[in-house]
């Protein structure tokens, strides 16, 4: 992040951000929420073959918590959302993990398809990015990288030694078989769902909404309001690759790719930085307050749900 904005003219940046048209930002946030609701519906369809019927609201709020947690802990959101559904819907974590793997694999395939299509159709634009000045890597310490790799390797070796020394695999072999069975059941839930067309349609719709929420943000700044849908598609496709990196919400890498993309459409770097900051806040950092609200709501709605179940059981 610091490398991307290290030479930024702060006064110019503030002046550009002061021109934001907030109605377009609000529309982008709404589209963002819609995409997460569709994610909840898509996820719910994976539970039917396993004879589970989690509440849509719980699934939606857990997805909001996922987005919130990812802003703080890289890839931590998946653990958070699975923990929420395990707690409030009493679905085994291993089965939840299987459904999460299905979702992530589906999303990855669609993302790679989008990126591959862009490379083929807009190869010349990609070549321009590759030929443009990149962020200097001289500031990256080879020594620090070597130390990190060494520590990770040492931890792996120690883990293997401990497992073999105390025969942990044999001791927990039965439990591991059960875990593998439940993960497999969750993973293969896609094969058994009744409406696969709906599942994949929802998956595509999620990406369409994500594209639209970036597209409408172009109208939020006067300098980018004249850009067409082509610029939005290219920027979205390229910048989305940043989310494959194990960093909070693609921080820094996403901004850099957005700025580089907009340069190809005659948007200067300073304006690109302002747009990247605004867009990242509207599409990612907005989950910080929304996630906090979701955390507060979840116990309330589930306590109410539990109370109703008790009353119904008592009256029957």
**Crossing angle, helix 123-131 and helix 93-121, to 10 degrees?**
90
DSSP state of 73: S
Q: What is the pLDDT of residue 311?
A: 42
**Crossing angle, helix 269-280 and helix 253-263, to 10 degrees?**
140
pLDDT digits (tens, 9 = 90+) for 284-300: 888 999 999 999 999 99
The pLDDT of residue 220 is above 70 = yes
Q: What is the pLDDT of residue 139?
A: 42
Instruction: Compute the Cα dihedral for 215, 13, 283, 27 and give only its sign.
Output: negative
Q: How many other CB atoms are there within 10 angstroms of residue 141's CB atom? A: 10
CB 48 within 8 A of CB 193: yes
pLDDT digits (tens, 9 = 90+) for 153-205: 777 777 766 666 656 556 555 555 656 666 666 666 777 788 888 999 999 99
Least confident of 134-143, 249-258, 276-285: 134-143
> Please, which pLDDT band fits residue 219 given cuts at 50, 70 and 90?
very high
Percent of the chain at pLDDT above 90? 30
- The tally of CA atoms less than 13 A away on the side-chain side of residue 225 is 11
Q: How many other CB atoms are there within 10 angstroms of residue 7's CB atom? A: 9
How wide is the angle at C-alpha 112 spanned by C-alphas 98 and 273, nearest 5°?
110
Residue 80 neighbours by CB under 8 Å, 6+ apart: 62, 65, 66, 68, 69
The count of residues in the chain is 316
**Crossing angle, helix 93-121 and helix 196-215, to 10 degrees?**
60
> Please, which pLDDT band fits residue 130 given cuts at 50, 70 and 90?
low
Give the mean model confidence (pLDDT) for residues 40-62.
92
């Amino acid at each position: 992040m610091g490398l991307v904005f290290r030479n930024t003219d702060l006064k110019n940046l503030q002046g550009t951000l002061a021109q934001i048209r907030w109605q377009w930002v609000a529309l982008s946030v709404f589209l963002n929420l819609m995409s997460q609701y569709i994610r909840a519906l898509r996820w719910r369809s994976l539970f039917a073959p396993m004879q589970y019927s989690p509440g849509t609201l719980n699934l939606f709020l857990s997805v909001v918590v996922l987005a919130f947690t990812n802003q703080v802990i890289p890839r931590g959101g998946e653990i958070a959302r699975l923990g929420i559904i395990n707690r409030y819907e009493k679905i085994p974590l291993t089965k939840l993990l299987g459904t999460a793997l299905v979702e992530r694999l589906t999303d990855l395939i669609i993302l790679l398809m989008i990126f591959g299509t862009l490379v083929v159709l807009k190869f010349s634009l990609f070549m321009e990015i590759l030929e443009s000045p990149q962020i200097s890597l001289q500031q990256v310490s080879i020594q620090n990288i070597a130390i990190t790799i060494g520590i990770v390797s040492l931890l792996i070796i120690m883990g293997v030694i401990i497992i073999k020394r105390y025969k942990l695999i044999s001791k927990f072999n039965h439990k591991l078989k059960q875990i593998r069975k439940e993960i497999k059941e969750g993973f293969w839930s896609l094969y058994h769902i009744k409406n696969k067309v709906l599942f994949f349609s929802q998956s595509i719709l999620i990406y369409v909404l994500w594209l639209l929420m970036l597209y409408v943000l172009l109208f939020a700044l006067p300098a980018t309001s004249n850009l067409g849908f082509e610029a939005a598609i290219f920027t979205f496709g390229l910048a989305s690759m940043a989310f494959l990196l194990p960093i909070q919400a693609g921080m820094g890498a996403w901004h850099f790719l957005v700025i580089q993309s907009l340069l190809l459409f005659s948007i200067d770097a300073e304006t690109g930085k302002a747009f990247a900051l605004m867009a990242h806040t509207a599409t990612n950092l907005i989950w910080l307050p929304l996630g906090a609200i979701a955390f507060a709501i979840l116990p309330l709605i589930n306590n109410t749900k539990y109370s109703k179940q008790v009353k119904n059981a008592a009256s029957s």
